[in-house]
Each structure stands twice: as C-alpha cells, then as structure tokens.
Amino acid sequence: MRKFLTAGLGLALSASMPGAAQVADTAALSAQRQALDKFAWMDGTWRGPAITKGPGGEHRVTQTERIGPMLGGTLRVIEGKGFNPDGSVGFNAFAVISYDAAKQAYVFHSYAQGRSGDFMIRPTADGYVWAIPAGPMLIRYTASLKDGTWTEIGERIAPGQAPVQFFEMHLTRVGDTAWPNGGAMTPQ
C-alpha cells in the first residue's frame, strides 16, 4: 500500500510542478476540435430581440452574444448579455461548451443568475438542443440558424403535458470578434 501512496504522491507532485513534462493526448484533442467545429457557426457577435414570459409578465431585452473558440478550438466560450430598454443589463450569462472524447458527450457548463451547472447539449443539423433538469420537469432550449437568423426557444416540459414556450430570441450576426483570444497574455 505504501508503494502505491508514494507513487501516487510522486505523480501528483510532478503534475503540479511548473515545467513538469506534460504530454498532450493528441487523439482526444483532435476529437474535441472536430466535435466543437459543429458549433463554429456561432462564432462572432450577435444581437436581436428576446422575450421571456413568466408569472410577472413579459421581460423584453436586446440580447447580445459573443462567442469564440478557446484552447486551440477544443472549447467554445460564450457570453450572453441582455439589455433592458433603458440600456441597463437585464440578463448576463457565461458558458463553455466542451466535448469529452472518452464519453463521446458534449457538456454545456453555464453560469447565469446566481446559478451554475453542467447540462446536456447536442448539435443538430441546423443548430442545437440543450436542457436543464428541473425536478419532474425539463427546461429545453432549441436553437436553429436559418437565413442568417439564430432563433432559440425555451420550453417547460412537464410529464404528460404539452411543452409550454416561455422564451424566444432572434439574433442576427453583427460581426467577428477576437474574443476570447484577443488580448491574450504573451511571454513579453
């Protein structure tokens, strides 16, 4: 047992030491890049109207998204920001889409409104679907890109009931962005 503890401690120390030899898993990196290419259509800056319907009524914002690749294209980094009619921020979220080559599964890690979590996401022929388990219900977002417009709807799905739409946005691509790689640190 001591032999295994010593070996384990040695591995942990060498992995945490600056300059320790680190060998990349090129097959995993290649699989991640290829998988994340399915979301490349999202790269850039986007803007358009969004509406959320809740018990207190409707909340309308001008939704913006800025999205770009990170770590050599093995991640997609997303910032969503919704502006109220007076220009104040009414919604702000940050997310990362990744791909686990070993599990052959995508992960959508999201931070929004004081919450965070890992959620299922899968690309579709013209967009994606992602979902949040909410007790017996499911919150499902379905997005598509058609004729230059990124449309996304959100639905609450309760067992034995028809889906109820509570969110909709229609975004148009505004342009390119150097984010998140732009302005990255350099050795000098």
Total domain count, the chain: 1
Q: At residue 99, does pLDDT exceed 90? A: yes
Is 71 within the bounds of a domain?
yes
pLDDT at 19: 52
pLDDT in tens, 6-42: 444 444 444 544 554 577 889 999 999 999 999 999 9
Is 88 within the bounds of a domain?
yes
pLDDT at 24: 80
CB 95 within 8 A of CB 110: yes
pLDDT in tens, 107-156: 999 999 999 999 999 999 999 999 999 999 999 999 999 999 999 999 99
> Using 50, 70 and 90 to split pLDDT, how confident is the model at 185?
confident
Residue 69 CB coordination number (10 Å): 19
Residue with tokens 């097959």: 27
Is 115 within the bounds of a domain?
yes
pLDDT in tens, 43-73: 999 999 999 999 999 999 999 999 999 999 9
Is 171 within the bounds of a domain?
yes
Whole-model pTM?
A: 0.84
What's the distance, Cα to Cα, between the start and end of the chain in Å?
A: 46
Is 48 within the bounds of a domain?
yes
Can you give the CATH number for the domain in which 81 is found? 2.40.128.20
Is 128 within the bounds of a domain?
yes
Is 188 within the bounds of a domain?
no
Strand partners, 144: 127, 151
For the chain, what is the radius of gyration of the CA atoms?
20
Is 19 within the bounds of a domain?
no
**Domain with 83 in it:** 25-175
**Largest interatomic CA distance in the chain:** 65
